[in-house]
Structure 1
Amino acid sequence: MADIESEQAAAAAGSGALVLFSGGQDSSTCLAWALERFGTVETLGFDYGQRHRVELECRDALRQGLTDLNAGWAARLGPDHTVNLAALGEISNTALTRDVAIAMSEGGLPNTFVPGRNLIFLTFAATLAYRRGLKHIVAGMCETDYSGYPDCRDDTIKALQVALNLGMDRRFVLHTPLMWIDKAETWALTARLGGEPLVALIREQSHSCYLGDRSHHHEWGFGCGTCPACQLRAEGYRRFVAAAV
């Protein structure tokens, strides 16, 4: 078993990955996870007119912080890319792309759901990975602590991997390391990857708040403290801290 695991690790180290990197907690943790596993790692962010666009402005500090924390990560971290997807925001009527109150819709989903967003993100990511010669695509979708978004489900990601591989005639592997863990476990994964320095970096520099609030500071980071994203992050951090005591 050890030989098989070492061979798999060597194969991963010799290949490249593209991380969907929004500037949020989950994608920052995924970036650290990828830097531990792959020989070269590039990052990709999307500007789709989101209300919390400030998350994109957090990305440079996070990338720099990761390279400062670990010389190996610094050697592996490659270029950053940003894709303008303004059309997605223009055709979406959601609380993430319009100045409306966050609420539940008639269909049972919160109105923060942007239809097709992750499908589009991963398709564009695969297109870029094709050009850059990268096999692995890493994203922070999660089916444990989430708002019921159908494009975060494991079945959706697996189906899309099949479609992308068929449609591009290329072998991509979609990795979702947070799929089956909750926010407390995500903080714990962060601690395992980089200890308290990485926890502090992601706590202070990443952004999750749907309202784009960077004016209110909490023990878990910046945010309004009341939107669903802030509540998930705060509760997860509290449980993580409690478990560590």
Structure 2
Amino acid sequence: MYALDSDKAVVLFSGGQDSAIALAWALQRFDWVETIGFDYGQRHAVELGARTALRRELTRDFSAFAARLGPDTLVDLGGLGRLSETALTRDAEIAVAENGLPTTFVPGRNLAFLVFAAALAYRRGAGALVAGMCQVDYSGYPDCREEALRAQIEAIRLGMDAAFRLETPVMHLSKAESWRLAEKIGGRRLVDLINEHSHSCYRGVRATRHEWGYGCGDCPACDLRAKGWAAYVADEGGETATGKAK
């Protein structure tokens, strides 16, 4: 198999809460980290700007991260958005479809992301792919499940003849637990940085600031984030910008 550097990683970085925490996690563990993002015509394209802001703030506030963070690559996957025609890629109602999946599900999205991330990692000789997928309190997307991702990374390993490994640090964490992971990595400063600069709202609303971050406040992504933040600050160990929650 093609020799890869186990100390180098490529992070699938959307600009959302989970991928931002995954990026911080990777920066704490790998000597060299690059990020890759995807423009697939998403309605919440404001997340692409969040990616830039998060990278800037992480390197400004954490000198160790600045020394390890390499370049960012943005891949145009507009064809995926045009093929899928979901509530994330066109003006359509966000609801549960007849097949039981939310209309925000973009078929094959995470699977495609992994292929492109692996292609970049292959070029860089990076042995690890790091992603923020989570199957604990997610929106019902089948390509967020550990089983699906494990199968995909095995196909990539075989197809590229390279010993990639996939790291998903928030896979088995609730949103509240992921905030606690961020706090463990970088303290309250990192929690507040990610809360302020990441973006999760499916409608791309960045004008309204809630305690849990920016968003419309009623889409599924905002609902998950709000509930996770409330559970985090209710915990005795949770902290906010104003100090202890209890």
TM-score bracket for this pair, using the shorter chain length? over 0.9
2: CA distance, partners of 1:49 / 1:20: 17
- Does residue 77 (structure 1) correspond to residue 69 (structure 2)? The answer is yes
The aligned residue for residue 87 of structure 1 is 79
Tell me which residue corresponds to 2:243.
none
> Which residue of 1, 10, 27 corresponds with 1:18?
10
Which residues of structure 2 form unaligned runs of 5+? 239-245
For residues 103-143 of structure 1, the C-alpha deviation after alignment (integer angstroms, 9 at most, x for no partner) is: 10001110000000000000010011111111100001111
CA–CA separation in structure 1 for the residues paired with 2:232 and 2:43: 28
1:148 is the counterpart of 2:140: yes
The aligned amino acid for 1:153 is R
Residues 1-245 of structure 1: pairs in structure 2 closer than 5 A: 15-243=7-235, 244=238, 245=246
Which deviates further from its counterpart, 14-23 or 210-219?
A: 14-23
- Conserved 8 A contact 1:41-1:78: yes
Separation in 1, partners of 2:53, 2:45: 15
- Which whole-Å deviations, capped at 9, do the CAs of 1:186-227 have from their partners, x for residues lacking one? 111111111111111111110000000001110011000000
* Residue identity opposite 1:88 in structure 2: L
Between structures 1 and 2, the one with greater helix share: 1
| Distance in 1 separating the partners of 2:78 and 2:149 | 23
Q: Is the Cα–Cα contact under 8 Å of residues 137 and 172 in structure 1 kept in the other structure?
A: yes
Aligned amino acid, residue 58 of structure 1: A
TM (normalized to structure 1)?
0.93
What secondary structure, in the 3-state scheme, does the structure 1 residue paired with 2:135 have? Answer: coil
Q: How far does the alpha carbon of each residue in 1:158-213 deviate from its partner, in whole angstroms, 9 at most, with x for none? A: 11111000000001001111110100001111111111111111111100000000
Q: CA deviation at 1:69?
A: 2.0
- Decide whether the 8 Å contact of 1:14 with 1:39 is kept in 2: no
Amino acid paired to 2:225: R
Secondary structure at the residue paired with 2:136? Answer: coil
Aligned match of 2:242:
none
Q: CA RMSD in A?
A: 1.2
Task: Tell me which amino acid in the other structure corresponds to 1:64.
Answer: R
Post-superposition offset of 1:62: 0.6
Q: Distance in 1 between the 2:180 and 2:7 partners?
A: 27
1:14 CA drift (Å) = 6.2
How many angstroms apart in 1 are the aligned matches of 2:108 and 2:149? 12
SS in 2 for 1:141: coil
- Separation in 2, partners of 1:59, 1:135: 23
Q: Percent identity?
A: 61
After superposing on structure 2, the runs of 4+ consecutive aligned residues of structure 1 that deviate more than 6 Å are none
CA distance in 2, matches of 1:15, 1:37: 8
Q: The residue matched to 1:80 in structure 2 has which SS?
A: strand
3-state SS of paired residue (1:49): coil
Residue 108 of structure 1 aligns with an amino acid whose one-letter code is G
Secondary structure (helix, strand or coil) at the match of 1:15 reads: strand
User: How many angstroms apart in 2 are the aligned matches of 1:93 and 1:85?
Assistant: 13
Aligned length in residues: 234
